[in-house]
A and B are shown apart, each in its own frame.
Chain A
Amino acid sequence: SQELEQSPQSLIVQEGKNLTINCTSSKTLYGLYWYKQKYGEGLIFLMMLQKGGEEKSHEKITAKLDEKKQQSSLHITASQPSHAGIYLCGAGGRDDKIIFGKGTRLHILP
Chain B
Amino acid sequence: AAGVIQSPRHLIKEKRETATLKCYPIPRHDTVYWYQQGPGQDPQFLISFYEKMQSDKGSIPDRFSAQQFSDYHSELNMSSLELGDSALYFCASTRGVHEKLFFGSGTQLSVL
Residues of chain A at the chain B interface (Cβ within 8 Å): 30-31, 33, 35, 40-45, 48, 50, 88, 90, 92, 95-103
Contact = CB atoms under 8 A, between A and B. Distances in A.
A6 to B, nearest CB: 9
A97 B42 contact: no
Interface of B: 4, 31, 33, 41-43, 45, 48, 50, 55-56, 58, 88, 90, 92, 97-98, 100-106, 108
Contacts of A102: 41-42
Contact of A96 (B43, B97, B106, B108): B97
Given A88-B42, A96-B31, A103-B42, A41 B97 contact: no
Most buried by B among A90, A96, A99: A96
Main secondary structure of the interface of A (DSSP, over half): strand
A49 to B, nearest CB: 11
Given A33-B100, A44-B103, A96-B97, 6 more contacts: A33-B101, A40-B108, A42-B103, A42-B104, A45-B102, A50-B98
B100 A97 contact: no
A92 B106 contact: no
A41 B106 contact: yes
